[in-house]
Structure formats: structure tokens, C-alpha cells
Amino acid sequence: MNMKTILLLLVVLIPVLPAKPRPNVLFIVCDDLNTHVSTSGYPHIRTPAFDQLAAEGMTFRRAYCQYPVCGPSRASFLSGLYPETSGVLGNTLDISQTRPGTVTLPQAFQRQGYWTASTGKVFHNKKMDPGEGTWDAMERFSNDEMPIEAEARKVFEAQYGPVGDRKNRKRWKAHHATLAPQTRGQQVGYGPSGLRDAQHADGKNARQVKTWIEQASHGDKPFFIALGIQKPHVPYLAPDAYFERYPRDQLILAAPPAGFWEQAPHAAMVKRFEGFGFKLGVENDALCREYMQAYHACISFIDAQIGTVFACLKEQGLWENTIIVLTSDHGYQLGEHFMWGKVTLFEVCNRVPFIVRVPGMTKAGSSTEGLVELVDLYPTLAELCGVRPPDDLQGLSLLPMLKDPAVPGKAAVYTVVSRGSKLGKAVRTERWRYARWPDGEELYDLQGDVAEHHNLARSPERKATLEAMRSQLARMERAAAGAGR
């Protein structure tokens, strides 16, 4: 028997092993969620679904957004580009217009064999969501009408006719906002909704994901499902039972530092606190507790919805072949520095929960203090799933850290935010945060001043540190502009 015959026999006799299937991806992004979750070291709220994922995956304790506003942040992590490169530096800008031809994360996955689906808020809004060519299925939901709304509508319609009539729309809208705190919308609505979980948009979002999974809508393809959780974004509405978990008199409030704004640049401030009903430097304990209770109720509510999706993955036998990422688009201020909402460069506004579970790779219950950025998400998922990303991504794959939590993170991370036609820019290292504003600078020692109460930018003792951080910011500016680090 000659060698050629032997080789042919080997080809016939040796079984061909099937290729390992590519993993599924469940990407969960919350809206306006800060680090008031147990996995970020916040002990005053219960988030068992976050805990469950962290117990089986890896928690990145120092993960940062690139812009503390919904639209720019999402455009950044969905494109793998810093905001100055994406061109999206405000909520009204669309990356398809500012940078035509950009291949987003779900587009790359769809083009390379994944079934892709989105529900809730993933891209900033419907107008900016590419839709066809990005998603095989896409849904967005709204809350059902609250009982308080339904009762008021009946009274209104008995006097004026249907609220949908053109002549009534403006009158109803103005009247609707005065009914109760729950109906104020973004200026700023909050309170028990009187609805069941399944009647809220996020309850519907979670149930839609369950339906796709249970019906195997992806067919024989691996899936990339993006679950856009819409809370705790205002209005802070949740089913009544979640409010009952957080009695107002038991809440722990942030203590704003007296005189802080005498030492910090005024451009570092945003006057969103006025929309919440506060005055700068004036404490209002009762109102703080109302908002804090509602914000925490929303967090417990969304945690419960996320938990139902995790249970579904396990029931359908997909838990061990599904990569899960759970994060937020940016952080949020609840009275720190007398600030409320977003659009600042403080730690609480820029740091986000970030948990990743990769079956067979991440060590259960592992964590890292290494610095990472949301812009790193795209290259990480692409590498994990064998998807070739565009050549121009500016983030870095976190695969080495996922394999070994001892691997260090980045030397520095970078966040920007607009102030008129200019930008405030912040850079963080392991110990320091430095920010440059049109009217001044900030320098905080995050090792000894975690709450960032003492601006050291004018301290003679920190002159060398200030110069080093200025240089670090310059390096990050070049990287964000695509010039490399």
C-alpha cells in the first residue's frame, strides 16, 4: 500500500469533529444607572440579578463612559470610537450623519453571520437607530396608561372630547403634567405607577427577549440580542412594591461639601439641579429622599426584569453558550456636589457598573480594579465571537483581563462633555482625576478623596502631579482624535 492510499484511508477513517459553535451574546445596557448596585460596592440596595451575574462572571470595578450623556455615550461604545472621532457630541447628533459609513457593533455581527435583535433603548432613539441592515428584529415599547392617568383622562374627555383630537392635544398635555408627580415626565416625574411589572416598558423589553429565546427566533444562527433597559432614566416610575422596599427615612444621602463651588471651576457645574427643584448650596432633605427612593425603586425593578431573562436562558439550555455583558451608558448624580442628573465629569457621573460573563473563560466571582472604558466593549465582543471589526476601532480588547484578572487595565481613561462650543475633558489614572475646563482645572486624589471634595489644582504641593496629568490628558486627546497614544 503506497503512501497516497494510506493518506486517503486516514481521511476516510478519522472522524471530522464539528466546529465549536460561536457563542451567543446578550448585551444589556441600562439608562442613567450609576453605581448604586451591590456589585459596585453600594450596600444600601438589593440587586440579586447583578449579584448572580457577578458570581459567575467578572466585575470591572473601574469602568468609565466616554461622554456622560445618552446619545454620545451610545454612539461611542456602539462604534468603538471616542466622541471626538465619532463626531457625536450631543443628543441631537447622529453618527450616520457625522461619520457616514461607520460600521456599528450590531452591524458587524449581523454581516458576519449573527441573528441580531434589539428591544428598548440601545441606540439613542428611533430616529438614530439604523434599523434594517443592523437588526433582524427590533422593538420599542412604552408604559401602559397609569390608573391615575386613566381616571383623569375620562374626566377630561367628558368635558372636552378625546385627548387625541388635534384641538385637545395641547390642553391635555398641559393638564397631564399637573396631575401628580408621576405625570410630570422628565421635569421630573417620579412615584409608584400603579402598574404591574409587565405593563412597564422594561417589563415588556425583558419579555420580548424571553419570547425570542423561547421561540428560537435566531434559527440555526448564533444570536446577538441587545436589551436596552430604559430605567432608571426619568421619570422614575416603577410598580408600587419596589417603592415599599426603601422607606424614605432609612435612606443614606450624599453629604454635599459646603463651599465646594468656591474652589472648583463653574464650568464643571450643570444647572440640571434646578429642574429637580433644588437651589445650589441649599440642602432639601425631604425632596432628596423622594427622588432617592424613586431612583432605587427603579433599580430594583429593572434588576427583577433582568433576572427573568437570566432564568429563561438557563431554562432553554443557552446559559453555557451565551456571553453576557451588563452595563450602563453613564453614571448619575443624586445630590453629590449639589448636582442632580448627568452632564458632569465627576466620578459618580462617569463610572458605570460593568459585568462580563464568558462561559468557559471568566473565573466565577472574579473582579478587577483595572481601568477600562466603554469604548473597549466593541473590540472585546468581536474578538470573543470571531467577528472581524473595522480597522479603525479606538478601544482595546479586554480579553487578556477576562482570562486573567491580574492583568492590569489601562494607564488612563478619558471622558469629555460639551460646554457650549467647547469641551470639558477629564483623564483618570489609578490614583488621580484631572479635568480641564474653559474656566479652570480640577485635580482630585481618588485614593484619599474618593468623593472628590478637595480640588488640588492650585496646590503648590501637587504642581508636579498637575503637570503629569496635563501631559496624560494631551496623550488621550491625541488618541481620541485617532492619532494613537
CB of 39 within 8 A of CB of 337?
A: no
With respect to residue 427, please indicate whether it lies within any of the assigned structural domains: no
Which residues share a beta bridge with 352?
63
83 with 185, same domain? no
- Strands ordered across the beta sheet of 413-419: 413-419, 422-428, 432-437, 440-445
Question: Count of CB atoms within 10 A of residue 64's CB?
Answer: 24
238 and 307 fall within a common domain: yes
Instruction: Say whether both 212 and 251 belong to one domain.
Output: yes
Question: Residue 187: what residue type?
Answer: Q
Alpha-carbon span 481 to 9, nearest angstrom = 58
Final residue in a domain of this structure, among 336, 370, 405: 405
Task: List per-residue pLDDT tens for the chain, 485 residues long.
Answer: 555 554 454 444 444 445 678 999 999 999 999 999 999 999 999 899 999 999 999 999 999 999 999 999 999 999 999 999 999 999 999 999 999 999 999 999 999 999 999 999 999 998 899 878 899 999 999 999 999 999 999 999 999 999 999 999 999 999 999 999 999 998 899 999 999 999 999 999 999 999 999 999 999 999 999 999 999 999 999 999 999 999 999 999 988 888 999 999 999 999 999 999 999 999 999 999 999 999 999 999 999 999 999 999 999 999 999 999 999 999 999 999 999 999 999 999 999 999 999 999 999 999 999 999 999 999 999 999 999 999 999 999 999 999 999 999 999 999 999 999 999 999 999 999 999 999 999 999 999 999 999 999 999 999 999 999 999 999 999 999 875 44
Query: d(Cα 206, Cα 229) in Å, to the nearest integer?
Result: 8
Neighbours of 414 (CB within 10 A): 25
**125 and 164 share one domain:** no
Same domain, 168 and 236: no
Distance CA 452, CA 255 (A): 12
Q: Range of 167's domain? A: 146-192
**Residue 292 resides in a domain:** yes
108 domain residue, yes or no = yes
Q: In whole angstroms, what is the distance from residue 67 CA to residue 88 CA?
A: 10
